[in-house]
Structure 1
Amino acid sequence: MDLFIYSDESGVFDKVHNEIFVYGGLIFLSKEEKDDYNRKYLTAEKAIRCGKYSLSEELKACKISNKEKGKLYRSLNQAIRFGIVINQKNVLDRIFMSKKDKQRYLDYAYKVGLKKALQRLIKEDRINPDEIETVHIYNDEHSTATNGRYELREGLEQEFKLGTYNLKYDKFFPPVFENLKGIELLFCDSNKVTLIRAADIVANRIYFMALNRKLENMEGIYLSTLP
């Protein structure tokens, strides 16, 4: 059994000018489910184009109306959605002093939030962890600096395939998927990958709800808040 995960971000990681930063995305439990939602989302996009947007124009959340965003979001109502909300005012100031530290923190937040979503799916018996062979993760190509992609892949492998060791507490934490054969991490052009655009709409909705203090109104979504 393979998992297919698509994610994007919303907001700017800069605590001086921004309060919230969000990752949002979709988790599919099979290739068939992924392909089905790909078709559904393309149909939803086609319905809102209607001569208003050209076929070559990418329907990103920043370009379309709130009503149109709502229609696209509703097309994903039955999909497994997840989100990670970072309250920037609670993040240590020193993390913002270098690009590398900022990227490391964002990688940590993404890794932890995704792990929590998958653990909840396991607890709900929607995933059998022993049956997962490969995890395919597709992120928007702007999400991580090129030189930081290896570190993110390594961190995800530690959590999902190898397990982690806490030196402070002298404790080993087993991997989420004991029989995992590999992780595929790809960074994609959202103009060419439909479900990255869908992840953009999910991230944008979470960002809007977080800014307006309405996260508790979000249903059917696996949310984590940091720090």
Structure 2
Amino acid sequence: MTEQTVIIYLDDSGVLDSNHPVKHFVYAGYIFISKDEKDYAKRRYISTIKNIRRSSGRVDELKAAKISIKSKRKLYQVMKPFHSIAAHVWTDKIYESILSNNLSKHRYKDYVVKMLVKKSLKNLIDKELIKSDDDINIILNVDEQPTSSDGFYGLRESIYEELKFGITNWDYGSVRPPLFTAEVKVSVHYFVSEHNYLGQSADIIANRIWVSYCHDDISLRQRDKHFLLTLP
């Protein structure tokens, strides 16, 4: 049996805080269904960065918050051949008890990431791009940030259990079945975007989707090969 490999890069945009005037929070990035596809995307992105630096004279990291709209558009367009994913959170619909506690807030972010990973993988299964009955190795790369410590599980363990065993909620009598029936491997890596080009690409799309909600402009987030999850 051939082992499938799925590689994901995610970054966030916005503020998960009830007191913030903008009520939108986003995780977004790209999901690759092979190492070769990931490497091809990286080469394309680096080539575009080099072109922008040559024309602008910049040598620093090209973050969405610090570059021109034209440059952001180029960095967004070069990734159009690849599958993108996003989770949008309406922060004014989250319980205040979650947002008022930093540890609970971090745990909720982990939950958003977990559900985005699961639903994105389910979307790939539905499109017959990956198989639910083959071994799978999932490599998740997330922009470096404080991690949850007030839950029973870390992010990696939580994702693994959701995908391999599903979740039974005894309080509500609900069951979420497992997504995969074969062997599941999950690894989680936290990157510093300055040293990670595909992490930078996640920053660009996360910012664009966040802006699309801030300006209520759906055209900014309409793209082929895109999966969107809305929470809560």
* Pairing of 1:29-108 with structure 2 (within 5 A): 29-50=33-54, 52-55=56-59, 57-108=60-111
Q: Which amino acid aligns with 1:198?
A: S
TM-aligned CA deviation for residue 61 of structure 1: 0.7
Find the residue that maps to 1:105 and give its secondary structure.
helix
Alignment of 1:211 with 2:206, yes or no, is no
Find the residue that maps to 1:33 and give its secondary structure.
helix
Corresponding residue number in structure 2 for 1:145 = 147
* Cα RMSD for the two superposed structures: 1.9
Please, what TM-score do these two structures have when normalized by structure 2? 0.90
User: What is the percent sequence identity of the aligned residues?
Assistant: 34
Aligned length: 225
Q: Which amino acid aligns with 1:192?
A: H
Corresponding residue number in structure 2 for 1:183 = 186
Q: Which amino acid aligns with 1:145?
A: T
Find the residue that maps to 1:112 and give its secondary structure.
helix
The change in CA–CA distance for 1:53 and 1:153 in structure 2 (over 3 A counts) is farther
Unaligned runs of 5+ in 2: none
Unaligned runs of 5+ in 1: none
CA shift digits 1:112-154 (9 cap, x unpaired)? 1221122112111122122242100011112x43757962122
CA shift digits 1:5-45 (9 cap, x unpaired)? 01000011112113111000100000000000000000111
Q: Which amino acid aligns with 1:180?
A: E
The change in CA–CA distance for 1:12 and 1:42 in structure 2 (over 3 A counts) is same
Candidates 24, 29, 36, aligned match of 2:28: 24
Corresponding residue number in structure 2 for 1:165 = 168
The change in CA–CA distance for 1:215 and 1:115 in structure 2 (over 3 A counts) is farther
Find the residue that maps to 1:26 and give its secondary structure.
strand
